[in-house]
Amino acid sequence: MSGVSEGTVAAPAAAVPPAARTRGLRKVYRGTVAVDSVDLEVPTGAVLGMLGPNGSGKTTTIRMLLGLVTPTAGEVELLGQKMPDGAALALPEVGALVEGPGFHPFLSGRENLMRVAAAEPLLASARIPGAVADALERVGLTRAAGRRYRGYSLGMKQRLGLASALLVPRRFVILDEPTNGLDPAGTREVRAVIADLHAAGTTVLVSSHLLAEVEATCTHVAVLNQGTVVAQGELAALLEAGSANLLVTTPEVTRAVEALRDHRIPARAVPDGLRVDLTATTAPQVVETLVHAGVPVHEVRRQRTGLEDLFARLTEDTNVIEDAALDDLATLIPEDAR
Ligand SMILES: Nc1ncnc2c1ncn2[C@@H]1O[C@H](COP(=O)(O)OP(=O)(O)OP(=O)(O)O)[C@@H](O)[C@H]1O
C-alpha cells in the first residue's frame, strides 16, 4: 500500500522555533529600570547582533536569557525551554561569554578551562584534555595557557571566556561584548570564530556597541536603547530602510535639481548643495547626468545611511536621541510591534 493516499496534501514544514524568545521582559534594580518591555526573537541559525550604547540593557537582557538574573516581569524561552525551569535542559547546549565569568586568579588559563570543562554535562571525562586544547587553540591562547589568569590582559581574559563557551559543540552561543579589550588582530579572530559557528549552523547572539562590528558579522540586528528594543530584524532589510544619499556641491543648485528630475532622479536643495536619493540610481549616474546637463560639480560625497547615522548617535550619546532619529526608527519597527 502506498504511503501517500490520493488527495493527500503534504503538511507545510513546521516553522523552526527561535533559539531564544522573550516576551515583555523587564528588570528593575532598586528603582532603576534596566530593561523594559523587551520582546526579542533570536531566529535559529542567525547571527544576531544586539546593538546599543553603554547602559542600554544588553548585559541585563543576556543575563536574563541565561537565567543568571531573575526578571522582574516577563518570560524567557531558551532553546524551546521556559527559563528558569528548563535551565538544566537548555543550558548545556548554550555556550556563553558574559562579563565576570569567575575564573580563578591563581590557576592558569588551561587549569581554569579544565575546571569549567569538568562541569560540562555534555563532555565525557576522557575528552576533556582534547576539548580544552582545541578551545585554547581556537581562541589563540595556546602559548599563554600555562600562565596564571591573574596576569592575563583584558584581551586574554576575553579569549579564555570565549574558549569556555566553545568547549563543546553548542546549538546556541551567546557572547557579551566579545571584542572588548581585544586588539585588531584579536577582533578579527573573534569575527572568524563567529563566522565558523554560523557556518556550522550554530545560532549566535553577540552584543556590541559598535555598528561596524555588527555589520561585519551579523545576519540580524536588535537595537536597544534605554532598556527597550527600538528596532529588530534582518540586517540587510534594516540597512535598506536607511538608504543612502549623495551630497552634491554645486553653485547651480536649481539647474542641477531640474536636470536630475528630468531623468527621474529624486533630488532636493539643501544648504550646501543638493541631496540625491540613491535608492533607484547610482553615484556615477548622478554625476554623468549633471555633467551632461552642463552643471558644474564641485564635490560629491556619499552621506551615511539613516541607520548608520542612527547607530552612531546611539553609541555617541546614551541620553539624547533626536526626534528625527526616533522617526527613522519608527519606520523600521513593524506597526503591530509599536
Ligand atoms: N546589578 C545592578 N544593580 C543596579 N543597576 C544595574 C545592575 N546591572 C545593571 N544595572 C543598570 O541597568 C542599566 C542597564 O545596564 P546593562 O549593563 O544591562 O547595559 P549594557 O547595555 O550591557 O551596558 P554596557 O555596554 O555598559 O555593558 C544601567 O543603567 C545599569 O547601571
pLDDT of residue 276: 87
DSSP assigned state of 328: H
pLDDT of residue 243: 57
Looking at per-residue pLDDT, the higher value among 264 and 194 belongs to 194
Q: 208 to each of 50, 273, 289, how far by Cα in Å? A: 6, 36, 41
Mean pLDDT of 35-59: 92
59 Cα: distance to centroid of ligand 1 (angstroms): 7
170 Cα: distance to centroid of ligand 1 (angstroms): 27
Q: Which candidate, 118, 192, 199, places its Cα nearest to that of 162?
A: 192
How many helices and strands (H and E) does the chain possess? 12, 15
Looking at per-residue pLDDT, the higher value among 160 and 266 belongs to 160
Q: 202 to each of 21, 146, 265, how far by Cα in Å? A: 16, 30, 43
DSSP-based three-state secondary structure for 63: helix
The model's pLDDT over 113-128, given as tens digits with 9 standing for 90+, comes to 999 999 888 889 999 9
The model's pLDDT over 310-331, given as tens digits with 9 standing for 90+, comes to 565 545 544 333 333 333 433 3
- Best residue for ligand 1 mutational test, from 30, 32, 70 (most atoms within 8 Å of Cβ): 32
Ligand 1, atom 13, residue with closest C-alpha: 34
Give yes or no for residue 64 having a pLDDT over 80: yes
Ligand 1, atom 11, residue with closest C-alpha: 34
HEC-encoded secondary structure of 136-186: HHHCCCCCCCCCEHHHCCHHHHHHHHHHHHCCCCCCEEEEECCCCCCCHHH
| Domains along the sequence of the chain with CATH | 20-239 (3.40.50.300), 245-303 (3.30.70.100)
User: Which helix (H) or strand (E) segment is 94 a member of?
Assistant: strand 94-97
pLDDT of residue 78: 96
Give yes or no for residue 98 having a pLDDT over 50: yes
C-alpha cell at position 100: 565576570
83 Cα: distance to centroid of ligand 1 (angstroms): 21
Q: Which candidate, 40, 49, 54, 39, places its Cα nearest to that of 178?
A: 49
Give yes or no for residue 155 having a pLDDT over 60: yes
211 Cα: distance to centroid of ligand 1 (angstroms): 20
Residue 268 in contact with residue 257, Cβ under 8 Å?
yes
Model confidence, pTM: 0.73
Helical H segments across 17-153, by residue range = 58-65, 87-90, 109-118, 128-138
276 Cα: distance to centroid of ligand 1 (angstroms): 41
Ligand 1, atom 3, residue with closest C-alpha: 29
pLDDT of residue 5: 39
CB-side neighbour CA atoms (13 Å) of 49? 27
The model's pLDDT over 160-199, given as tens digits with 9 standing for 90+, comes to 999 999 999 899 999 999 888 888 888 888 888 899 899 9
235 Cα: distance to centroid of ligand 1 (angstroms): 25
- Best residue for ligand 1 mutational test, from 40, 58, 209, 319 (most atoms within 8 Å of Cβ): 58
Residue 239 in contact with residue 279, Cβ under 8 Å?
no
CB under 6 Å to ligand 1: residues?
A: 29, 32, 34, 52, 54-60, 209
Phi first, then psi, for residue 275 (nearest 5°) are -110, 125
